Amino acid sequence: MAIDRSLSSDAADGRYGSAPPRPPFIEHVAYARVGLLGNPSDVYFGRTISFSLGNFSASVRLQPSDDLVIQPHPVHDLVRFDSIDHLVNRLQNEGYYGGVRLLMSICKVFYKYCIDNKIDLKAGNFTLSYDTNIPRQTGLSGSSAIVCAALSCLLDFYKVRHLVKVEVRPNLILSAEMELGIVAGLQDRVAQVYGGLVYMDFCKEHMDSQGYGVYSPMDISVLPPLHLIYAENPSDSGKVHSTVRKRWLDGDMFIILSMEEVAKIALEGRRALLEKDYTKLAELMNRNFDLRRSMFGDDALGSLNIKMVEVARSVGAASKFTGSGGAVIAFCPNGPSQAEQLENVCREAGFVVQPAIVVPSFLNEEDLKTLSHS
């Protein structure tokens, strides 16, 4: 989603003063994402289905300026505190890092990609600023949302959107995060670049030959009503992949076969969604989490994360992680009365619960022209 407009208030346009018109700014929004089925097989040449979650978003604004400035956020990049208690409390709840490093990293990755691919960039500087309401450490891809929105701003500022394929953009976002040591896969970035509901196949042959997967947008109308559940003080979603990844690379057959089954869940889930077989969808969501739990173990997943799933299941709802922990997506196959029960038990357990808002795809005509499989 993009906004490209001039700030033409009376004061800004000089109608009642001498201030010159401000140059137009570019603003893009990227939404949180939910891994519905198949995660975390995206980093194991698997398949996933994900969608853009409209409940939360990040925005980045690019304003032309004399110098290139990365503007700290007044809350998320706080460096001035009332006391040492304030500082420590802030670090315990929000962590050490805000979004400045993300903006810097995508600028570097974007610039290097353009140089390597002989894409000329016009002269000119800008100021980048951001805002976000995506809860931290909830497995809703808050960091990549900031990077995704910033990349869109850069594409428009330099007028190179038509030269950077849509399929490649998730790789650029992931590269920017990997520069900072963030552990992740491609599915989150694909969902945020494409918007809407996307089926993704990360088969090794295509990944090796093209560097990205096969991404197939789906009509969001095939989704039933879903609920988002999250904890206000969640676990760290960035450390969950580590042990399983090593075992997979070492040839552990239990992990390899389990991850293949997780990938198959997305394939079966696509069929279930297209046929609106929601009984099957519920089974697959539960199976997806059960497989994750068997591979990662309870210590890695965290007791609070497991409790969210179990609370949802206590009223018969299907449930699984949206990502690597911190939030859960739930489906109530028995309808509104079951959804009401879900809301009650989640609130009693101290969790936040709300209907999941699915954002349609927001690729524009220029984006669609770059697609290999449009």
- Give the rounded percent of residues in the chain with a pLDDT score beyond 70: 89
> Hey, what long-range contacts does 296-301 have (CB within 8 A, 24 or more apart)?
296/240, 296/243, 296/244, 300/240, 300/243, 300/244, 301/240, 301/325
Task: Look at residue 311 in the predicted model and tell me its pLDDT.
Answer: 97
Q: Is 341 helix (H, G, I), strand (E, B) or coil?
A: helix
Q: What is the pLDDT of residue 170?
A: 96
Q: Give the per-residue pLDDT at 14.
A: 43
Mean pLDDT of 200-211: 93
The answer on pLDDT for 139 being more than 90 is no
The sheet that has 352-355: what strands, in order across it? 318-321, 327-331, 227-230, 352-355
pLDDT (0 to 100) of residue 144: 94
Catalytic choice (4, 67, 120, 188):
188
Distance, CA of 322 to CA of 217 (rounded, Å): 19
Residue 22 confidence (pLDDT): 61
188 is catalytic: yes
Predicted TM-score (pTM) of this structure:
0.87
CA contacts within 13 A on the Cβ side of 209:
5
Please determine, for residue 264, whether its predicted confidence score (pLDDT) is greater than 80: yes
Radius of gyration of the chain (CA): 21
Residue 162 neighbours by CB distance under 10 Å: 11
Identity at 228, one-letter amino acid code: L
Average pLDDT over residues 110-136: 94
Is the sign of the CA dihedral 104, 107, 110, 112 positive or negative? negative
Sign of the CA dihedral running 311, 298, 284, 361 = positive
Q: What does the mean pLDDT of the chain come to?
A: 88
Burial zone of 352 (CB within 10 Å; 0-12 exposed, 13-18 middle, 19+ buried): middle
**Residues 295-321 pLDDT 10s:** 999 888 888 999 999 999 999 999 999
Which residue carries 């009376």 as its tokens? Answer: 10
Query: Within a 10 A sphere around the Cβ of 267, how many other Cβ atoms?
Result: 17
Residue 21: per-residue pLDDT: 61
Decide which of 371 and 319 is more confident: 319
C-alpha dihedral sign at 125, 126, 127, 131? negative
